[in-house]
Chain A
Amino acid sequence: MLDSQATTSRADGGGDASEPRGWRMVPSGPGLGTLVFVAIAMATVLAGGPYALYTGTLICIYAIVTVSQEWILGRAGLVSLGSAAIMAIGAYTTARLSETSWGLFPVPLLVSFVFGGIVGLLIGVPGLRFKGLYLMLTTLALQFIVMFAGQKYQGVEHEAGFLVTPPTWGSLPLNTPKALFIITAVVLGLVLFALSGIYRGVPGRVWNAMRQDEAAASVLGAHLVRWKLAAFIGSSAITAVGGSLYAYQAGQVSYNSFSLELSLTLLVMVFIGGLGTLAGPVIGAAVIVLLPILLDDLADAFAGLPDVANWLFINQATLANGLYGLLLLLVLLFERDGIFGLGRRLGRGALGMGRRLTTTRGEN
């Protein structure tokens, strides 16, 4: 108890004057402001139409995955290019279980969690024995192999994908937009709660030490490979849950929804949102899901210039893609803490300025 408080306060005060280049751990207990913000966001989505609910659900699903990816990226310094493949594992599991007697919600979700963890173990053991870049290559291989296996598994019979039997509780359908949104939001909440607990405890401190200095951490007795493996297994399990929820929302599961492009987009979300916090990846997921919608509005705004509007419309997907890439580069070059870090810094700056103003006034 006392210990975790000490860590929190140190992490809080440590980063001001001589902030080293890199990411810091940030205390992740939700403040009142965060809770109010979450409540407002939830209310807005729930009050909105089916499209708002759909978008909200998608953001929650991606956020579940990005938060779990941040676990290995921001804490263990590992990159996985196979998060979409692990989502696919969860999605296939869910699709195949949904039509059996095991299909009672949330059984498929839990089975996906376990399967995701197992895949994480199988991939992590060869991938983590060497430098981080080998995990990247292993997961790249996983991505291609799962895509291929999925295609073969679907065969000609299920070429368009496996249908997911909608989840119900007795006579209560769980696949209405509202029910799905609530379910995904609750799962996201649980994931965030569990991870913030883990990060504040001993494991969080070990990963943090590892991120800052692997050699030092190993001297202190941390078995690096085992800790990395633990992070990778946990994150894979959660990622598969994200895939499972994705299956419920899409209603159909096909390999081509889980391409390398999705893996890369998920990575972009994590980096853009910001590493080292739980809020960062959630914000990243929201930004990337909302970006195409904003581009849509932009096209509408140029309705007076049909050529421009048309060009924007035709190239919308490509442009959105390019913007992700550009945002990613900008974040890496100029604001390593991502949008969340930028926001926090601006906020801190504003706060500081406010404080200065009040002090001056007080002196007068």
Chain B
Amino acid sequence: MWRRGGTSAGGSHEAADGPLLDVRDLSVVYANGAHGGNGVDLSVRAGEIVAVLGRNGAGKTSLLRGIAGFLPSEHIVVHGHVVINGVDLAGRDPMRSFRQGIVMVPERDKVFAALTVVEHLRLATRGGQDPNSPCMFGALDRLRGRQAGLLSGGERQMLALETAFRNDPKLLLVDEASLGLAPVIVKELMSRLREIATERNTAVIAVEQDASAALRLADRLYVMNHGRVVWEGLAQDATAADLAAEYLGTVR
């Protein structure tokens, strides 16, 4: 059994087991010249659950996308390093990241609106799981025939996570899972996400604006502002009020 959030407080990367993912000095330049992320450093150990907090425009989504890769057609330039299993993925396409075990659940358009739930499950074959096997998110079982475009926000999020887990990721990237969902659903979703990730020993980087959702989910937290990491530490060391103050920039 691995330990959660034990030794690497304060981001010491010399932990005996070494990080699964190591992001160094990552910056992303979009086709229109906009920058996302401005030298981000971050690391995640196998099976560790990390949340990244920050306001809009802090560079959180760019960080996730920089790890997950960009389509060549997006004409996006990536600087810095994204190393997983000794392979540098910076500036590579999503297929490359997928092969290294990275799966991303984006914030918007996280499901294929035109495909049914069961077709999503059929598409996610890497885990070798039978598409007809019961879902980890049980609520999906009675929705198998429904088109994803007709699902509610919470159901879409579950389907996206279910599909992602069925691709057997080593590292799951989740962008703003709580956005637009009722607090009670967020609470449930976060607990379930943590349960499944723990069960399957999947590392997670979840980008969040909702500090309490992040605290519920993560072992360790990063706070970003202006494209940089401004604070990192164990979830147990931080309170929601601290974090809010931190990333709203009212302190310091």
Interface residues of A (CB under 8 A from B): 18, 20-22, 212-213
Contact = CB atoms under 8 A, between A and B. Distances in A.
B33 interface: yes
A20 B76 CA distance: 10
B30 to A, nearest CB: 8
A332 to B, nearest CB: 14
Contacts of B32: 20, 212-213
5 closest Cβ contacts across the A-B interface? A20-B33, A21-B75, A20-B32, A18-B33, A21-B31
Q: Is the interface of B mostly helix, strand, loop or mixed?
A: loop
Nearest to B34: A20
Contacts of B31: 20-22
Contacts of B75: 21
Interface string B12-41: 000000000000000001011100000000
Contacts of B29: 18
A22 B32 CA distance: 9
A346 B29 CA distance: 26
Nearest to B29: A18
A14 to B, nearest CB: 9
A334 to B, nearest CB: 15
Nearest to A19: B33
Interface residues of B, number: 5
Interface string B52-78: 000000000000000000000001000
A209 to B, nearest CB: 12
A20 B31 CA distance: 6
Contacts of A20: 31-33
Nearest to B35: A18
Given A21-B75, A213-B32, 8 more contacts: A18-B29, A18-B33, A20-B31, A20-B32, A20-B33, A21-B31, A22-B31, A212-B32
A18 B31 CA distance: 9
Contacts of A213: 32
Contacts of A21: 31, 75
Interface string B75-92: 100000000000000000
A20 to B, nearest CB: 5
A18 B29 CA distance: 9
5 contacts: A18-B29, A18-B33, A20-B31, A20-B32, A21-B31
A212 B32 CA distance: 8
A22 B31 CA distance: 9
Nearest to A216: B32
Most buried by B among A20, A212, A213: A20
